[in-house]
Structure 1
Amino acid sequence: MNQLVNGHLEKTRKDLVKEMTSLSEAQFNSKADVYKWSIAQVCHHLVLVEKASLKAITWGLKGSNSRKNVPLVLLDRTKKIIAPKIVEPDKGPFEVEQVVNWLNDSREKLMNFLSTIEDKSILAEKSMKHPALGELPLDQWIEQIYLHEQRHIEQIKEIKLLLDAR
């Protein structure tokens, strides 16, 4: 896998953890609105998405290919994307350290799996259906992990502002 993607995965995760670790447990689990997710739930959702992405990449190694403009879709927060049930977060409450550990564990599993793929070019040749993006090449499944985190980091910043305003 190319260094650019590895760098984005690493930097985005550091940014996410930085946003989380500055919070008390109460702030981490508070909701700005009864119908919205808490920061803890957003982070739990990211863990679930990374785990589901790893499964999709694993299964998708048997498929074919169809490329999408993933950044355009995922980074446009004016368009709400409904999370499939499989990646909806639990109600909580959560502890910051617990979720950081889950994030570290899911990333370690992803990176360990990716390191077992000898010919990384196969990731651009094979695809798997993504719930929001449709048929997606496996290298773009990897790309969507950090783009999805970037999308939710912005959401976390907005939630922090709303919680501060109360």
Structure 2
Amino acid sequence: MSKFVNDNLYETRNNLIEEIASLSYAQFNNQPSMNKWSIAQVCHHLVLVEKASIKAIAWGLKEIDRSQKERKKVQLILDRTKKIQAPKIVEPDGEPFEVQQIIDLLSDSRKKLMTFLSTIEDTSILTEKSVNHPAFGELPLDQWIELIYLHEQRHIEQIKEIKLFID
């Protein structure tokens, strides 16, 4: 995995932790409205997405097809004017969370991601294989990895907005 991707995964996660670490239980779990997620739910969603991404990449690596896949403009995920419906599998729990509980879940899912990625001997294979992504369709595996931190950046902006309504 490239240093650029590694640095972005690290930096984005640190930014996320900085945004949530000082929140009270009430701030963390307050839903701005009935159809909006709390900050805790946004963070739980990020944990679920990271875990699902590991499974998708692992599945894609086992596939035999090695035809070059079209690269997508995954940076479009940062455009928050475009609403993306989360697949059921990555919808957060409705139950409240403690801030430290979520930080631990985020740490655990990131550790699992980095451990999994370190087992890939030839990372060039990530550009050669692909898996269907719920928002982007057939997507090269290296772009799945890139989407983890881009998706997190999208939700950090959402968390900043939620914080404006809960203080």
**Structure 1 partner of 2:57:** 57
Moved over 6 A (4+): none
Q: CA deviation at 1:66?
A: 2.5
8 Å contact 1:75–1:151 — kept in the other structure? yes
Question: In structure 1, what is the Cα distance between the partners aligned to 2:136 and 2:19?
Answer: 27
**Structure 1 partner of 2:31:** 31
8 Å contact 1:66–1:127 — kept in the other structure? no
User: What TM-score do you get using the length of structure 2 for normalisation?
Assistant: 0.96
Instruction: List aligned pairs for 1:69-80, cutoff 5 A.
Output: 69-71=73-75, 73-80=76-83
Tell me which of 152, 157, 164 is aligned to 1:154. Answer: 157
Q: CA deviation at 1:79?
A: 0.3
User: The residue matched to 1:129 in structure 2 has which SS?
Assistant: strand
Tell me which of 67, 70, 91 is aligned to 1:66. Answer: 70
**Structure 1 partner of 2:136:** 133
User: Please, what is the CA RMSD of the aligned residues?
Assistant: 0.8
Task: Count matched residues.
Answer: 163
Question: In structure 1, what is the Cα distance between the partners aligned to 2:48 and 2:71?
Answer: 24
Q: CA deviation at 1:35?
A: 1.1
Question: In structure 2, what is the Cα distance between the partners aligned to 1:159 and 1:36?
Answer: 9
Identity of aligned residues (%): 69
8 Å contact 1:42–1:152 — kept in the other structure? yes
For structure 2, list consecutive stretches of 5 or more residues without a partner in the other structure.
Answer: none
User: What TM-score do you get using the length of structure 1 for normalisation?
Assistant: 0.96
For structure 1, list consecutive stretches of 5 or more residues without a partner in the other structure.
Answer: none
Give the letter for the 1:132 counterpart. Answer: A
